[in-house]
Structure 1
Amino acid sequence: MTRVELFVGKGGVGKTTLACATAMSYARAGQRVLIASLDQAHSLGDALGVRFAHDPGTVTGIARVAPNLDAIEVDSLALLEDRFHDVVRMLATGGKHEHGLDLAALDPAELTGLPGVQELLMLIELTQFAEEDDWDVLVVDCPPSADMLRIVTAPDTLLGYLERIWPPHARALSAAGLDLRRAVLAATVNKIVAAVTEVRDLLADHARTGAKLVTGAERVAVAETERVRSAAALLGLRLDAVLVNKVLPAVPPADSAHPAIHWYLARRAEQVRVVEELYERFDGDVRVLIAEHSGAEPVGLAALSVLSYSVDAATPPGDNLPEVRTSSGEPVVRWESGTGLHSVYTLRMHLPVVDPATLRLGRVEDDVIVGADGVRRRVRLAPVLRRCTVDGAELDGKHLVLRFVPDPELWPR
């Protein structure tokens, strides 16, 4: 079963080069690796020193770049055009109609503005790679942090909308009806739902999928790193490690008064303080690892191969780092006290909020909406809680606790 590693971080922190170096480290150890880039800046080829073909109207293929190492830059626009034409051909089999939307009259470019379309196509493509038996590890060079977190929410958002505007039972009736075109459309939507559900399940599978956050040893990076940790917890994404890149290595004591030496020592001391603060803030929840500055920018397979040994050193087996306490990412429902209409239930979810003032809660039908640190998630309530009303909420350390009491009009008597 293919393991998935997502490399997340803002631009300029060396996210792509560290993803490449990690992939080469796995490949050198004998694992079959595919490194895929979702970043539409297409910097993966630049880092590897490889040119991927980006011919208009075609989907970029997978290229072998080194022993045990394949690579691909996922082009969302090409995917959109390719998949859209497949859907139009499928719907055309249902015959012509005189009313309603004629999809054949649309152009794929007209769909690029629809929120989440391109992102979902890229995630579906990755899921297909992960389900194949060609690789042991899928290393993903993700877009910048904010964009990636929005992409992670796309599957749940689409599935939630489809369930409300065209529920499964209504699609089943259409699929079995006499209107052939509507039946084909229902079958197409069902295929989309199945594909997106696989994406959602893969991202939420903590046994297979994890993320590494690449950041810099800068004061401003600490707050951003904490916000990403909070967002990952809210979205149910397992955060494996924070990889602090380009940390200046220690040097022997020097007596020289040259300004360059003073600058180097002062800059390194500042970076060390930032790293120590990250250790303190994360308190064993997530590993904080160090990748030392490699000097010249590592571009090309030879330079990345050298960097890959530094990646090995940043994650040594049997190291003395504290054991990482991971959360399943899924809310836990418990009975707290009382019986019958006087019962109290709790919904507890891992949420290390950075700014409590950003916490927002809402209830829509059978879902509760939780927002924090700029990210929002719609959580489906357990059956027992759907007959309850929210009685209160509190932050308990790194967890959000919601309390529910039975609704007398809905509670069974």
Structure 2
Amino acid sequence: MRHLRPLQLFVVAFTLAGTSAATAQSSGVRSGFSVSRLARIDSVLDRAVARGEIAGAVALVLRDGQPVYERAVGWADREASRRMRLDDIFRIASQTKALTSVGIMALAEEGKLSLRDPVSRYIPAFEHTTVALRSDTGRVVVAARRRITIRDLLTHTSGISYGVDSLVGPLYSARGLGPAAGWGWYTADKDEPVCTTMERLATLPFVAQPGERFVYGYSTDILGCVIERVSGQPLDLFIRTRITDPLGMRDTHFFLPVDARGRLVTVYASGSDGHAVRAPAGPRGQGDYVDGPRTSFSGGAGLLSTAHDYARFLQMLLNGGTLNGVRILAPSTVALMTSNQTGTLYSQEGEGFGLGFSTVERPGANGRVESVGTYGWGGAYGSKYAVDPRQRLVLVFMIQQIPDRSDVGTNFPMLVYQALVQPR
């Protein structure tokens, strides 16, 4: 495979398991993977770029902390003829949720909060919330049957959506949320602290009673505010001092440092013909991650990162909460977060949902090829990740395409697993 980097670069970038991909065999089988079958990933990525389905991507696979596949393909900015590089920076949107969830669990380990706590203990505006129900006349708003808890937020069973559906959309839009916030989750253009936004959210009706349904939405943004209230730090400082700096994630930020502007990947969108076209400026495209007000730190969708940085974070989880002698969480906490906590509420066949991650319960269902116990998620710009504890694998696929109608990211796990010829 022609895209593995030299030994010294891997030691600097990872030092995940004291080994490097450069020490692996150049042919045959590498870390249990067929080298010739790994080359199929190259073919698929090259074909997708050549056909114009995607502008570019970065793909990374680790086994036992060692890179076995790494590739930057296509364009970081097609119009400027800037090639994609392995250290290019991506908007990771909902992949932010994993770091915020880890931050909450770190505070729980310190006894500073409990998963049973009502959110209103930290954000009083959530003491009395409401729920919108459909009726013959359109909408009726009723009181919530109970208070929302920290656990409800971690499992997305709070009943809180992104407010883009017809039931509550007009109400949310009038308060600068839902349809007025790009795709619903976007807050990078807001010149107000995230807690101010979440307090405004608390006055709006939600779409389900707490604990009754899996509803994807602002729950993790609320957790970001909880972190600020409990720690006494802005969310960006908390994430940096407690997670990204200790793990050596030097390129992970809420807003891009000026000296890194040239590494931010351009956002594209799948057109009606399936070809990737440059996305517009603003919340439904390039976003305000460089020149925005730098005030709203979204715990649900605000971070920028690289494939390498995010792989370090995932390797920490795979290691049971530690990386290179730095412990972020206890093994039991990671096990709790990455096991199904929602029963059958999560609607994807063969999957469950833990405390911040989806989980594979039945391989083969819903097209999932990963092992039982694999956990992961993705981001609105098309990026995806998975951690397979049984096979000791970390998969990271980075792209910037919204909406993304290509199947490259969806098919990436199959391409990886078809090359795994020595499973455990």
Tell me if both proteins adopt one fold, taking TM over 0.5 as the criterion. Answer: no
Structure 1 or 2: larger helix share? 1
What TM-score, normalized by structure 2, do the two folds share? 0.25
Structure 1 or 2: larger strand share? 1
Report 1 or 2 for greater relative contact order, CA contacts < 8 Å, sequence distance ≥ 6.
2
